[in-house]
Amino acid sequence: MVYLLIVLILVLAIAPILHFRPTRRQRLVTQLRDTALKYGLFVEFRKDNIFDKCNLSPNVDRADIIFYGLRIPLSVEMELKKEREVWLRDEEGWRNLTKNNEFPISLSSLPKDVLAACFDIRCYGVYWTERGEVKDVEKISRILASWAACAD
């Protein structure tokens, strides 16, 4: 009986500590973001109006959309006079929201969880839901780098 009481007290003491362990999803998101940093990408939440013009899938919450970007070096940034480009993926494929520029072929092989890709004077980047794997982040990094190289 005494041992049962000791075990019960230990379980009650340890249970709140176990509650703070990260979930599988939290560990995956951390791993994805660490991989992005390793490949030179930055990760940020952006409140952008590009998704106002489209109907997102019902299983996509706007709060889950995050931006992974590749910064443009300042020396190149000053030389680029291009306007912002935004490409949005919907059921029909990719469409340009800003103007009728030619579609960058490299974007066609982005992972299916990527909802949009954009370029501005500061960076090339994608909006996605982080539902992929580490290999998807590596692929995003390669594609953004090739898109940036083609635009120079």
CA angle in degrees (0–180, nearest 5) for 101-85-109: 80
15 domain residue, yes or no: no
81 domain residue, yes or no: yes
Cβ atoms 95, 88 nearer than 8 A: yes
6 domain residue, yes or no: no
Q: What does the alpha-carbon distance between residue 125 and residue 136 come to, in Å, rounded to a whole number? A: 14
Tokens 């909006």 correspond to 127
94 domain residue, yes or no: yes
User: pTM, whole model, 2 decimals?
Assistant: 0.80
38 domain residue, yes or no: yes
85 domain residue, yes or no: yes
14 domain residue, yes or no: no
Domain housing 61:
23-151
Region 28-45: what's the mean pLDDT? 94
How many domains, the chain?
A: 1
Q: What is the pLDDT of residues 84-135, one digit of tens each?
A: 788 888 777 888 877 767 777 888 889 988 888 988 888 899 999 888 899 9
